[in-house]
């Protein structure tokens, strides 16, 4: 499948080349994330999970199903609906040697815990002169869903990408989710993992062998020669559909999945743009001060002589998310909007 064809695998214990097999199981995104947590909890007794409904309810999206029964209440902790409180508890635990995984039911609720993430988790190592490590993972559902209106349907990556001291990942496939999360749990720094609520049921091939995916490595999901389309998380699948439509028009699109937002794989971005001479970025967040707008600036600054057209950004409209489903879909990126942007940079309108 496309996410396996050019997957970048690395790690101290793993295979640098997983072989193509006919028996590789297909599992849902939620199961890939659960496997990563399960394997790391089994490997390291300092790893524990806490959050709202992660235990007895098996997680709001059933991501932690079975972990309470397997590891018990000391390592799978149901918390009150108090994000600032249990996030602060986890930051303290990380600073004394434990490895917490904090599940926010949704990143919309993570806004209540920003002080602990930005002023404590991200800065303790710096402010202690390296004496303290903060090996903690913050994860949960993010981005537009359906019928959730403006307070519960937001893509908030740029809030965290903005902050030095935090690593940020946002996978689009089960394969990437498992490999990136295992890397995150082993990292000695705070890592934020954004999981699209709409992709928990997405299925994809995930090898049974253990593997890690390093941070700072984008993945080319589709090779192309005419235009580079850059995205991450759920919109990657929309971009791949747009690439099929464009192929019928005679436009060969290369699709770059960032996967890691901080650190960012600028090398892969620039190499792709140098090959195609055109760039379209797709980000389901608002356009101002977003990951997409930052990548657009990087390309305009560092690939200026390679570009044959201005960089295009396809983002959500700069409005709160409507509740009405027709309007909700209208404000987000679509295949049609992506195709139109590619036609503009290709001067084929």
| pLDDT at residue 24, rounded to an integer | 85
Residue 285 phi, psi (nearest 5): -85, 175
Comparing CA positions, the residue from 312, 306, 301 lying closest to residue 339 is 312
| pLDDT at residue 6, rounded to an integer | 31
Active-site choice (152, 162, 205, 317): 152
Contact (Cβ atoms closer than 8 angstroms) between residue 168 and residue 157: yes
Q: Give pLDDT tens digits for 69-100.
A: 999 999 999 999 999 999 999 999 999 999 99
Please give the structure tokens belonging to residue 26.
Answer: 């297909």
Question: What residues have CB less than 8 Å from 59, skipping those under 6 apart?
Answer: 30, 51, 53, 65, 103
Active-site choice (31, 40, 52, 83): 83
Predicted confidence pLDDT, tens digits, the chain (349 residues): 333 333 333 333 343 334 344 578 999 999 999 999 999 999 999 999 999 999 999 999 999 999 999 999 999 999 999 999 999 999 999 999 999 999 999 999 999 999 999 999 999 999 999 999 999 999 999 999 888 888 889 999 999 999 999 999 999 999 999 999 999 999 999 999 999 999 999 999 999 999 999 999 999 999 999 999 999 999 999 999 999 999 999 999 999 999 999 999 999 999 999 999 999 999 999 999 999 999 999 999 999 999 999 999 999 999 999 999 999 999 999 999 999 999 999 998 7
- 244, 277, 287 from 311: Cα distances, Å: 21, 10, 13
List helix spans (H) across the chain. Answer: 2-5, 29-43, 67-71, 83-95, 107-110, 114-115, 124-127, 157-161, 174-186, 235-248, 266-276, 291-302, 325-330, 335-345
Query: Which pTM was predicted?
Result: 0.92
Give the CA count within 13 Å in the CB-facing half-sphere of 167.
Answer: 24
Please tell me whether the peptide bond between 340 and the residue prior to it is cis, using omega within 30 degrees of 0: no
Q: Give pLDDT tens digits for 331-345.
A: 999 999 999 999 999
Is 53 designated active site? no
Calpha distance 55→314 (Å, rounded): 39
Is 312 designated active site? no
Q: How many CB atoms lie within 10 A of CB 317?
A: 14
Q: Length of the chain in residues, anyone?
A: 349
């Amino acid at each position: 499948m496309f996410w396996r064809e050019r997957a970048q695998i690395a790690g101290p214990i793993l295979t640098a080349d997983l072989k193509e097999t006919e028996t590789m199981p297909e599992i849902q995104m939620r199961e890939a994330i659960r496997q990563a947590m399960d394997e790391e909890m089994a490997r390291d007794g300092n790893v524990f999970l806490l959050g709202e409904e992660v235990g007895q309810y098996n997680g709001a999206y059933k991501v932690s199903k079975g972990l309470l029964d397997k590891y018990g209440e000391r390592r799978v902790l149901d918390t009150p609906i108090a994000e600032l409180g249990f996030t602060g508890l986890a930051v303290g635990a990380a600073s004394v040697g434990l490895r917490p995984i904090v599940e926010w039911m949704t990143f919309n609720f993570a806004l209540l815990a920003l002080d602990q993430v930005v002023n404590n988790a991200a800065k303790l190592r710096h402010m202690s002169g390296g004496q303290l490590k903060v090996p903690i993972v913050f994860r949960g559902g993010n981005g537009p869903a359906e019928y959730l209106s403006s307070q519960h349907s937001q893509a908030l990556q740029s809030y965290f990408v903005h902050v030095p001291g935090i690593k940020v990942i946002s996978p689009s496939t089960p394969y990437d989710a498992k490999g990136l999360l295992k890397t995150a749990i082993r990292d000695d720094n705070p890592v934020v993992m954004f999981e699209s609520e709409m992709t928990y049921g997405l299925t994809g091939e995930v090898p049974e062998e253990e593997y890690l995916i390093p941070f700072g490595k984008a993945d080319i999901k589709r090779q192309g020669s005419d235009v580079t389309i850059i995205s991450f998380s759920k919109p990657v699948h929309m971009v791949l559909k747009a690439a099929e439509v464009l192929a019928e028009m005679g436009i060969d699109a290369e699709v770059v999945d960032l996967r890691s937002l901080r650190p960012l794989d600028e090398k892969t971005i620039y190499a792709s743009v140098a090959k195609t001479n055109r760039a379209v970025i797709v980000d389901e967040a608002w356009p101002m001060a977003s990951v997409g707008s930052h990548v657009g600036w990087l390309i305009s600054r560092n690939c200026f002589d390679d570009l044959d057209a201005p960089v295009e950004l396809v983002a959500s409209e700069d409005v709160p998310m409507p509740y009405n489903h027709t309007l909700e879909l209208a404000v987000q990126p679509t295949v049609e909007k992506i195709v139109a942007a590619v036609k503009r940079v290709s001067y084929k309108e």
